[in-house]
Structure 1
């Protein structure tokens, strides 16, 4: 008998914004993904809602870089 209960299904984690262009600028922000060094270090332990916050903040930081 298989269970279809969503409680037993693994939770999908928000994917990393890393694009493998890792290089920190003078303010410790990755020029590839826009995350701060602290956010990069926090990523693996971060909850899914926190990961979404990090990604939103990183996107805002990357916009001026694209200009």
Structure 2
């Protein structure tokens, strides 16, 4: 079966239901900024992918300490 015309799966939200912003305005659970959280529902799929990339970058920085 050719998946060329299959609908793309939507980008899932990183939210895990623990919403608390730290002093840097980043959620302590999902690592999104307050603005990224507020705008998630209106972002394009490409913008959501970009937010996910930022989350991974923030998580890597967190591990470095």
Instruction: Pick the TM interval, shorter chain.
Output: 0.7 to 0.9
The alignment's TM-score, normalised by the length of structure 1, stands at 0.74
- Distance in 2 of aligned mates of 1:11 and 1:41: 24
Q: Which runs of 5+ in 1 are unaligned?
A: 1-5
- The runs of at least 4 consecutive aligned structure 1 residues that moved more than 6 Å come to none
Partner of 1:24: 21
SS at match of 2:55: helix
RMSD over equivalenced CA pairs, Å: 1.7
Bigger radius of gyration among the two: 1
Given the alignment, which residue of 43, 47, 51 partners 1:46?
Answer: 43
Uncovered stretches (5+) of structure 2, i.e. residues with no partner: none
